[in-house]
Amino acid sequence: MTKCNYEQLLDPEIFRLAYELKKSKSGNMKPGADKETLDGFSQAYVEKVVRQLKDESFQFRPSRREFIPKADGKLRSLGIPSPRDKIVQEVMRRILEPVFEPRFLDSSHGFRPHRSPHTALRQIRRWTGTSWMIEGDIKGYFDNIDHHLLAGFIAELVKDQRLLGLYWKLVRAGYVNQGKAEPHLLTGVPQGRILSPLLSNIYLHQFDLFMEEIKVKYTTTGALSKNNPIYSKARNKYYKLVKSFKASSAEIIRARRDMLKMTYGIQTGSRVRYVRYADDWVIGVTGPKALAVQIKEEVSTFLQEKLKLSLQAEKTRITNLSRSEALFLGTLISITSRKYVQSQKVGGGHRRASLGRIRLCIPIDILIGKLSQMGACDEKGTPKAVTKWIFLNVGEIINKYMAVFRGYYNYYSFADDIHHLLRIIYILRYSAINTVARKLGLNTAKVIKRFGVDLIFRDHTNEIKHKLNFPRSLPNKRMNFALSPPSDPRVLFDTSCARIQC
C-alpha cells in the first residue's frame, strides 16, 4: 500500500508540477482574499513556502467566501483559497490521493481519476430488474462534515502527525466574507477548495462500506423469481383457444388481454445495488417496497449516528421505476414497460420481450428551462434572440450556439430518447437565426432567405466560413458512455450563473 509522509511536501519539484497544473485555469490566476496572485511564482517563492513547511510555521490564509445560486433557489457556499494555498493544497492532494484512491470502492464515481458521471450511469444501466430506487439527498453535506471524524478517517492511513497537523491548519483557517474576517466553523469542507473533493470522498467512504454491508444483508442467493402458475394457466388457455377452430375472435382477444394483465413471474428473492457521485447517490432495490423503506431508515440512522449527517426528507424519495422516474446526475431513470417493448421474432414465432430493463432519458423540460434562463427561448420553448450575444460577431454567435449543443449532446449521447435533443436543436437553430437577425437589422425571413436555416456565411472565395453544423439525425447508442464528459453535471445546468473557477 502506498504510504505518505510530511517529507514529500518539501520537494520543490512537486510544487512546480502543482503550479503548472493550476496556472492553466484562468480562475487560479485571480487574487484571493489576500490580493496575492500566482504571477509572482518563482524558485524563491517555492523555497520560502518549503522553508515554512519545514519549520512548521506555515499557516493557511482565510478563504474568500462566495455564494452562487442553486437550482432550488438557495445559495451554495464556496471557499476560494488564495493562489498560494491552492498550490499547497494541490501538493497535499498529490500526496494523499495515491494513498486513499486504492481503498475507494467501485460504487464511488465523483471526482476520481478515470471516473465521471458517465461511469456511474453506465453502472446503473446494468441494473436490470430494479423495481424501486431510493434517491438520496444529504442535507447541506459539504457544510456539515465533522472535522474530528474526518481527521480520524484520515489518520487510519496517514500516520505522520505533521500531515495531520497541516490538515487542522487548513480547516481552521477561517474565511473572509465581503472584506470581513469570519472565524472557522467546527464543521464543513467548503466547495471550491482543491482538497474538498478528496476529503469529501474520504468521509463518505464510510457510507460506501456501510452500503456494501446492506447489499450483502439484503441480496439473496439463487433465482429472484419463479414462474407464476396463474399466468401459466392463462397462457395455456390462450394458446388452446388460438389452436381451436371453434373459438371466436372475441374470446381469443379477451384471453390474450387477461394473460397480459398478469406477471409471468413471482418474486422470491431480493437484490440491492448502490452508486454514489460525490454527495449524490441512489440505491436500487429489487424486491417489495417495504424493503426499500427499511433500507432508507437504516441509511438515515447510519448517517445520523456515525457521520453526523441527516437526509433531506423532501428530496429523499422512494420511486417505483415502473410508474415514475428517478432523477440522478441530470438523467431520468426508469424501467421498460409494455409501452416501450415489442415482442421479438425468434425462429418461426415470437418471444415476449423482457421487461425491467433500465431506461436512461433526457429531462427535456429541465433543459428547456435552462435554455429559457439563458434567453434562447421562453418558458414554453419558443425560440427567441439571446440579446446579450448581439454585440458579438456572427462567427462568435454561431460558436456559442454550437458549444451549448455539444455540451448537451456529448453528455446525453447514451440516452434512450436521444431524439428529444431534436427539440433542443430546433430551439438553438431558430434562436440563432433570431439573434443574427437582430444583429444585422433584418427580419428572420430575410436571414433565412439569404443564409439558409444553417446560417451559412461564406468568405470572398465562396468557401464556408461559419455554419450551424447541427446533425441531421441522432442515432441511439445506449452504451455510448465516455470517461470524460463534464466532470460535474451541474455545469450543464448553470447557464445563467457566473461560475467561480477554483
DSSP 183-232: PPPSB---BTBTTHHHHHHHHHHHHHHHHHHHHHHHPPSS-SEEE-HHHH
Bridge partner residues of 225 (DSSP):
267
pLDDT of residue 497: 33
CA distances from 251 to 54, 239, 257, 351, 352 (A): 89, 12, 10, 22, 21
Distance between CA 28 and CA 48 in Å, rounded? 20
pLDDT of residue 41: 66
Sequence length of the chain is: 502
Question: What are the backbone angles phi and psi of residue 134, rounded to the nearest 5°?
Answer: -95, 115
**3 state DSSP class of 395:** helix
User: How open is the CA angle 497-499-501, to the nearest 5 degrees?
Assistant: 175
Distance between CA 262 and CA 258 in Å, rounded? 7
Q: What is this structure's pTM?
A: 0.84
Residue with cell 484520515: 154
pLDDT of residue 405: 95
CB contact at 8 A, 214 and 276: no
Distance between CA 403 and CA 409 in Å, rounded? 10
pLDDT of residue 268: 72
Q: Tens-of-pLDDT digits for all 502 residues of the chain?
A: 677 889 999 988 898 888 887 776 655 555 555 556 666 667 788 888 999 999 999 999 888 888 777 766 677 777 888 888 889 999 999 999 999 999 999 999 999 999 999 999 999 999 998 999 999 989 989 989 999 999 999 999 999 999 999 999 999 988 777 767 777 677 888 777 889 999 999 999 999 999 999 999 999 887 776 777 888 888 888 888 888 878 888 888 888 888 887 776 666 789 999 999 999 999 999 999 999 999 999 999 999 999 999 999 888 999 999 999 999 999 999 998 654 444 454 455 444 545 689 999 999 999 999 999 999 999 999 999 999 999 999 999 999 999 999 999 999 999 999 999 999 999 999 999 999 999 999 999 999 999 999 999 988 888 999 999 999 888 877 777 776 655 555 555 543 333 333 3
pLDDT of residue 266: 67
Nearest Cα to Cα of residue 132 among 417, 358, 366, 304: 358
Q: Which three cell numbers stand for residue 288?
A: 417489495
Reported as a single tens digit per residue, the pLDDT across 47-80 is: 889 999 999 999 998 888 887 777 666 777 778 8
Nearest Cα to Cα of residue 308 among 147, 74, 151, 76: 147
Q: Which three cell numbers stand for residue 311?
A: 437526509
Phi-psi region of 179 (alpha: psi -120 to 50; beta: other; left: phi over 0): left
pLDDT of residue 354: 54
Q: Which three cell numbers stand for residue 70?
A: 442553486
CB contact at 8 A, 334 and 322: yes
Nearest Cα to Cα of residue 131 among 4, 225, 227: 225
pLDDT of residue 442: 93
pLDDT of residue 111: 92
Residue with cell 422512494: 318
Q: Where are the alpha helices (DSSP H) in 244-363?
A: 249-260, 289-306
Distance between CA 167 and CA 184 in Å, rounded? 13
